[in-house]
Structure 1
């Protein structure tokens, strides 16, 4: 595959109306099979490889994703950059439904996931610097693409990663807010750390699809979330295309 940029997407990003599928390739890795085939697309003059994080039909829950195989498959395919797209809940008041955020920090609350390539089985251990989990040059390119398109974004924020697949309790969101988190989702880790271990630049585009539990007086419904996804992902796809084609 000639392009070096990959997009990993989950909720709302598995369909690409207007995109041209050039190739769909099933692969395997030393860690097993990735969630889905690697699909090479062109979209709005941008060429990239897409990997559906949750598999076909959104069938793999966040805690059961084979993150190691996903990142390894993209590394083996020659990718050097990954743009991850995440649907998240909003905690801080700036992060209301429909906002697109480009976080620069992560707090990891997950457990039990296969989270490193350096598991000690081959006698090799590396301790990566993860002070700044996202690639700042790639994140700034996304910011520039948003400015070019006139898309309003929140260019900073901290992403709390929870285990899922259930949503959080109101008390848990109070704790996450106290910890300094702005948004909450289930898939940024160990994906971001594995990308760093693999030497791949990694940044995230987060669409806030609902207020986190207790932030709003209204009940969170899947219908409301889907309505935000249907409109917000149109902007997200345009942002991705601009960033990729401008590189």
Structure 2
């Protein structure tokens, strides 16, 4: 923890980061399969970095096909301590306009076709998700966005849908008017849950590309307009990432939010009843509490 490494997960439109010293694309095999792509490692202003394109370079993976467990395991295996996840989203709020960034602090998980935990039969664990993102890292993301000149909102509830289709009008109205969601996307979950199980500090930077179909002007927004916003967001996301290392000079060794100790009291299965095969797969994400490292 004395030597942090920032992991950046790039979403739609964000497939690389520039300016890394000693840049190298690395294959990282995990017990959960291969991650979405090779991982770009290097140093930015003296801080170790690791970049993973969530959908793969060229955007080859649909949201439901993203190997979320392998992605988080691979980052942890590389020594990542802080994950800044970038993703595109739609907005349910007039004031969260296309081009704005939202630093997520809550989720509503409506996904159903994805493995959501590293744990299971043979090694059961329950982590707290009352506050699913790291407040310290989220504050750093806000500062970096402001330094990059981006309009940023600190806090927002992210509705994670399965996809790949977008919402119906009835769903969009329900999420906005009755459930209190602020933005909607397809990749925020189970990524945040898995990062918590892996004891990683995690912040979510959601980039608004459009208003969802609830908005009366939705039909007037064409694909070209969305692509223009996505391109601007991608440039702004890279500018945000470039400013993160400067904010890590006084990073505490122990996370004040407890992210790095999320498994402290989470394991439920008695040691003598734990499945050795599953325990072996957990060497990177839970080795600290399982005695694997």
- Residues 6, 50 of structure 1: 8 Å contact kept: yes
- Post-superposition CA distance 1:176-230 (Å, at most 9, x none): 1120100000001000000000000000111100110131423354322210011
SS state of the match for residue 237, structure 1? helix
SS state of the match for residue 104, structure 2? coil
Per-residue deviation, 1:151: 3.0
Matching residue of 1:183: 183
- Post-superposition CA distance 1:87-119 (Å, at most 9, x none): 000111211111111011111010021110012
Alignment of 1:41-56 (within 5 A): 41-42=42-43, 47-56=48-57
Matching residue of 2:278: none
Matching residue of 2:127: 128
Matching residue of 1:239: 240
CA distance in 1, matches of 2:110, 2:232: 29
Q: Which moved more, 1:3-12 or 1:124-133?
A: 3-12
Alignment of 1:200-215 (within 5 A): 200-215=200-215
- Residues 5, 49 of structure 1: 8 Å contact kept: yes
Deviating runs (4+, > 6 A) in structure 1?
Answer: none
Per-residue deviation, 1:246: 2.1
Larger radius of gyration: 2
Q: Which runs of 5+ in 1 are unaligned?
A: none
SS state of the match for residue 143, structure 2? helix
CA distance in 1, matches of 2:28, 2:18: 25
Aligned length: 244
- Post-superposition CA distance 1:11-48 (Å, at most 9, x none): 11004455566111111111111010011145577641
TM-score normalized by the length of structure 1:
0.92
CA distance in 1, matches of 2:144, 2:207: 16
Alignment of 1:24-43 (within 5 A): 24-42=25-43
Alignment of 1:133-172 (within 5 A): 133-172=132-171
- Residues 47, 245 of structure 1: 8 Å contact kept: no
TM-score normalized by the length of structure 2:
0.78
- Residues 156, 183 of structure 2: 8 Å contact kept: yes
CA distance in 2, matches of 1:179, 1:170: 14
CA distance in 1, matches of 2:4, 2:40: 11
CA distance in 2, matches of 1:223, 1:77: 38
Alignment of 1:77-156 (within 5 A): 77-120=78-121, 123-156=122-155
